[in-house]
Each structure stands twice: as structure tokens, then as C-alpha cells.
Amino acid sequence: MWDWMYTVNTTVAMAPSLSSVQAGTGTRSSVASTTTSLGRPLRTLPSLRLPSLRIGVLAPSCKSSHIHWISLSSSFLANFSAIRNRASSNAMSNLLVFRRHSYSNKMISIRCAISSAPNASGESILPQGATEVDAFYMRMCVDLARQAVGKTSPNPIVGCVIVKDGRIVGRGFHPKAGEPHAEVFALREAGPLAQGATAYVSLEPCNHYGRTPPCSQALVKAKLKRVVVGVVDPNPQVGGKGIKTLRNAGIEVVVGVEETLCLKANESFMHRMATGRPFVTLRYSMSMDGGFLGNMGLSNAQGGLYSKLLQENDAVVITDAAVLDDPDLLSSEPGAKQPLRVILARSLDLPVESKVFDTSYAKTLVLADQKSCIDDIQRKSADGKSIEARLRAGGVDVVMMNDLTLENVLSVCYQLGATSVLLDSRGPVSSGLENFLGQQALDEEAAQKVVVQVAPIFLGENRTEPCFRMDSDLVKLERVSSHMVGQDVVIEGYFPERS
């Protein structure tokens, strides 16, 4: 009997760095890199059969995470001598120390996962027939799906993972509308290994012929043994029919694993299917003492909050006053599909040289009320051209509207294919700060979600407050959450559903 001490370090959210270690495959937020601190080369280490170990520490680098756990497995038993957890400001590490009492020439096999989010009582919620392993792979599906954020509209984002004998044999996600669905890419990668395997998919497989064949039939043809579904597709053409097709073929189907996470990943799609209207997010910034910040400190740098919001939404709406600060309203995320930029103009006295009117990278639409159009015609420039004519010459669409209500504005956006709209309440100090869009969204009950960025500054007596005027009782947000972006605190919440 041998009695050696081994140490295994794992760090969350980093890809495997040692090819000699058989690490579980996944996405950036769920795969752990593995390093060793040993008295001899890794290639001579034995494989160990250990029970699953749950370590109760937060994993802040994974948005969908709650508890980080490690599973080590092989053909021999081992005893734990010590377990320690340690965290740093940039990453979390779990230090696992154990003693080996048996020898084998097999490699260490390490898999890392994140447990299900708990309910109010602190317990994980899993549907009947589901396990923690199912929840882990479903979160991997959502992470895969998010690689196509902002690119699939009007389709949902979907991820698929195929697992056989504890090994991932196929992965895929839906890249954009008109291209194959996630299941197709995963099945292509799995090939014949898909037979008898389990497929995890974040949204119910489609069951109809559209621009692509039904995925439910593809899964049946591949002879899957089991399919785990995150959430039922609300599309009337699917709506449980894909699940029924799979079950009729003798495939075991489990539905509702990480359902809340899967619903949130496609909240705009779900809202559109339920209401026939775009999903609307209201965004604004404020100081620590309640001052409305407008454009102060707002940046659309890559990886930042604002850049990601522009990437996630099909359209962004600002007022004519916000144009004076010369924003481009373009996401800096790599490969982002740029949103339709919508300007609400109560006056067409606009700086046509502003970056937002450069249509080289994204379309721009000006929605102007009737009075502003009449005033513009009467106020032609020296060359005899109106602002409207000059905007049109630059490729900007201008539409005259009798009433600039958000209901009408959102209706136009929806007709142009926007299923998600960002109401960006902002503007420069020089134009006189006002929370025009925020107030309008509240008055018309137009928004489903609100995102508030709180900067660590005090404006003092000169501050302008958001000044939400309400005739009725207070509005209490639901599903409120917060996180840090740099030094700012971002608060997100959802308005109660309209009755």
C-alpha cells in the first residue's frame, strides 16, 4: 500500500491548460483548469474513484452559478485528509488534498460544475427524473446559446450538448436565423456516438418545417436514449409537440431543468410569443445621491454594460436631446449585430453630422412629430434643403407621426423586426437633463425591465433627479438583482405584469 499526498488546484472560468489531464469540457464559465502540486510527474499519477464533493463557496465569475463542486473519478477508492477553500479578487480556487491508498497507471479525471440555484429554503429545485448532473449540462447549454446573443432574432438563442457515458460527444448552438439549429450542430459533432446518448437542449426541439427541418425528428433518427429540455417552446408551431414526438418514439424526456435560467436567456422571445409585442428595457444612470446622470460616465467599451445592452437588443431609442452629445449607439462586442437606432424628434433641428446619422454600420430611423416636420420645411437652410432632406440623403429614414407615444414608437419598431427594444434615457447636461423616456415608459406601462447604473459619485445641490411622477400607488419591481460593473452598481428588476 502506498501513502502519498497529492494536491489538486482548480480555478473557475478558465479553459483546461494541461493536455495530459482529462478535464471536463464546457464553456468559459463552467470549465476549470487543472494544475498539480506533486512530488512526481503527472503522467505517472493514479486515477482515483472519489465520491462527488460539494464545496459551499460562491463562484462570482459564473453568472448562473451558486455553488462550485468537484467530481473526481477512477477505479480506486481514496480517503480525504483535508479540504480547504480559498478565494482571490480575480478568481476562486478550491484546494483539495487527499491521500492515495492504491496504485494505478490511469490518469486523474477531473470535472467541475456549478450546482443549481437554490429556492427560498436554500434547496435546489429539480423536476422529477432530473439530477444535478442534468442541471450542470443544461447550464452549459445556456452558456453555449449565449454565444449567439443578439444574432438570432427573431429566433431564440438555443444551446445543445450530447453526453454519452459521462463524456461530451457533441455540442452546438443556433448561430443566427436561417441557419441550422443547435441540435443539428451537436448531432453532426457526435456522429454515431449519439445513439444511446443523452441530449440536453435549452429550448424544446422544434417539430415543424420552417427554413430548417424539425429537430425532434433528427433526434429520433439519431436514436437518442434520453432528452433533457430546459423549457417548453411557446411557439404555437411547437408548444409541446416536439416533446410528444420524442416520447412517441420511446425516448425518455425530462422537462424543466434550469427552467428559470432558460426562460431568462430568451425573455424577449418568450414575451413576444405571449404578447405579440417587443420586450422593452428601460435604462438610465444615477449618482449615489439620486441625481440623474444622463451621459456622464456612460461608455460603450467592449465588455461593458452599455455595449452588451446594445448587442442584446434589436433597437435602441433615444430622444433628440441625446443626439447633441454625439453618440454612435454601436456595440463594441466582437461580431455584434448592431441595433436599429431610433431617434424621437420633437424638433428636427438636429446636427446631421452626428455619428448616429452615419449609416455605414447600422440603420438609423428618425420618428418626428407632425409639428417638427412642418417647422423644418419652413426653416430650410441656405442651400434650400430641409434637415429631413439632408438626413434622407445620408441614408437615414425619417417618418412623420401624429403622436410620439411609446405605444406607436414600439409598434413601428416591431413592424421593422425589432423584438427587443432598449429605451435609453440619457442626454447631455448642456441640453437640460430630463428623464423623458423614463417618465413616458412609466406613464404608458411600456417597459418590462429596468436597468439602473449607479455611479459612486455625489452631485450635490446641482443634481437633477429622475423625477418619476406617479398618480397611483408605488410601483414595486420583481426579481430584483444587482451586480458590479467596474466601480458602478447595476440594479436590474422587472415591472409587474399588466393585468
Q: Report whether the peptide linkage leading into residue 51 is cis, meaning its omega lies within 30 degrees of zero.
A: no
| 183: annotated active-site residue | yes
Task: Give the burial class of 383: count Cβ atoms within 10 A of its Cβ; 0-12 exposed, 13-18 middle, 19 or more buried.
Answer: exposed
Give Cβ neighbours of residue 160 (< 8 Å, ≥ 6 apart). 141, 144, 170, 171, 172, 173, 181, 182, 183, 185, 186, 199, 200, 201, 202
Residues 6+ apart with CB under 8 A from 45: 6, 36, 38, 107, 108
How far apart, in whole angstroms, are the C-alpha atoms of residue 294 and residue 286?
A: 8
Q: Which of 129, 155, 227 is nearest to 186 (CA)?
A: 227
Name the nearest CA neighbour of 485 among 338, 305, 353, 326: 305
Given the residues 183, 204, 258, 333, the one annotated as active site: 183
Segments of 237-370 assigned E as strands: 252-255, 279-286, 315-319, 340-345, 364-369
- The H-assigned helical ranges of 146-206 are 182-190
CA gap 244, 223 in Å, rounded:
15
- Where are the strands (E) in 31-67, listed by range? 33-37, 53-55
Grid cell 482529462 in the structure block, residue? 22
Catalytic center residues: 183
